[in-house]
Structure 1
């Protein structure tokens, strides 16, 4: 599990929105480019071709925007999102014929046919294992819904509260690794989300939505079965009752002794 794959997940919602707009507005055709790479007859030909077109348009947009192309932070962020996106899309195939790294390398054709600077994201593309991908997807969904909550206030509570409730539902999913170990890249990023959420939602009016999320390492851990009686009372509760009974007995003994002395 590497920290690299968790970097910038908080920025994914912004770049998702940005690149989705590019897909809708960019009229530049990369059909010839992708037809050379994804040959007809390939399994799931059309679906793989769509991946190629999305990446081609995205890389074209990056290279065409100086604010992205010449800004290392922006490059790192958008390429991190494309890495997650590509792993997600390839993971949807029943029997993938390639992985993220191999597919991205396919985009590197001869210079005469390649209209793109494909190298710009190549070193940031990885094959995410199932655990890392699941964790990054979980974090992305949290940050995405918080992003949408923040950016849709004008649409009213009926809209933004939908996103708030989605966060609440997601957060209830057990992430036990952060109860005992919060130094992993995943847990660090989850704690960053908690801080952002608590700052944003402190004045929320959405019904049933917490204004503050409890860190996973502070959530109460259920007691072991051996610590409980049939009626659900814990040993500590029983001990408290027994201590109270002993205290009452001592008080009664003192009272009886005082009465006895007064009679004498």
Structure 2
């Protein structure tokens, strides 16, 4: 089976911790030490520093050989990841990892009665993709441990500690999705968030149950703050440029001075009118007072 895209790695990343668990508890205990020493000499020309990779690869492929065809396909995808994680640099610079694996397979096939293995095709995983897969593996592995801790005899506090640790790790990766929500990595983070929230919704033994935000929600919150601030800065900058370096600015300045003069004139005239009217009112009041006073005297 040949892989032409990386989709299958991301699609099965959620199962990697379970595959690892099944392999560690279900793999054969066959003794491959003497056989791998032979392969080291006959097919690797002594380039292998030790035979541990030969033994672990043989055990893994022998375990995959016991599964049905559909499971074999999935486990070979995980095996690609596992090989990159466990044995990234098993040989010197004369051959790469894929060449090393091919030589191992040739050695196994030359001793087919001793190595009952399933032959997985190997797909090169680039460094950026492998890093993302490793980050996803760590998150899914932690979520898997939370699930198993709830179904085992572990104390509730232990499960809550694992949940809080998961949240911290998740948050550190969710920030990467602020600018690229459509990436495969970020889509897997959304699945992780949904799985975690669904699991914790059924658990009430933690004092504080935190619901983690999906990367999209984090992205939206960031946008809510950034967009208005950016608009304010841009508008202020545009107005400043127009004011300082274009006729529009000078016309605004002229109109501002004109409006200011008009308002000053209006204020002065209003004050004068008020002052005159006040004087008239006082005069009238005084006249009335005098009339009243004189009438009283006459009486």
Q: Do the two structures share a fold, i.e. TM-score over 0.5?
A: yes
| Equivalent residue number for residue 10 of structure 1 | 14
Find out whether 1:38 has 2:40 as its counterpart. Answer: yes
Tell me, in whole angstroms, the C-alpha distance in 2 between the residues paired with 1:163 and 1:37: 43
Structure 2 alignment gaps of length 5 or more: 234-299
Tell me, in whole angstroms, the C-alpha distance in 2 between the residues paired with 1:42 and 1:112: 17
Following superposition, the deviation at residue 218 of structure 1 comes to 1.4
Alignment equivalent of 2:61, drawn from 45, 59, 62 = 59
CA contact (8 A) 2:63 2:117 kept: no
Following superposition, the deviation at residue 103 of structure 1 comes to 2.6
Question: How many aligned positions are there?
Answer: 219
Matched ranges for 1:162-173 at <5 A: 162-173=161-172
| Equivalent residue number for residue 131 of structure 2 | 134
- TM-score when scaled to structure 2? 0.62
- TM-score when scaled to structure 1? 0.70
Find out whether 1:77 has 2:93 as its counterpart. Answer: no
Alignment equivalent of 1:149, drawn from 142, 146, 149 = 146
1:29–1:93 distance in 2 versus 1, CA, 3 Å: closer
Structure 1 alignment gaps of length 5 or more: 229-233, 237-264
Tell me, in whole angstroms, the C-alpha distance in 2 between the residues paired with 1:38 and 1:208: 55
CA contact (8 A) 1:83 1:126 kept: yes
Following superposition, the deviation at residue 35 of structure 1 comes to 1.6
CA contact (8 A) 1:180 1:217 kept: no
| Equivalent residue number for residue 221 of structure 1 | 222
Q: Deviations over 1:186-242 (max 9, x none)?
A: 2222222121111101144435551x22111211227559939xxxxx969xxxxxx
Tell me, in whole angstroms, the C-alpha distance in 1 between the residues paired with 2:164 and 2:96: 35
Which protein has the bigger helix share? 2
- In our comparison, the structure showing a higher alpha carbon Rg is 2
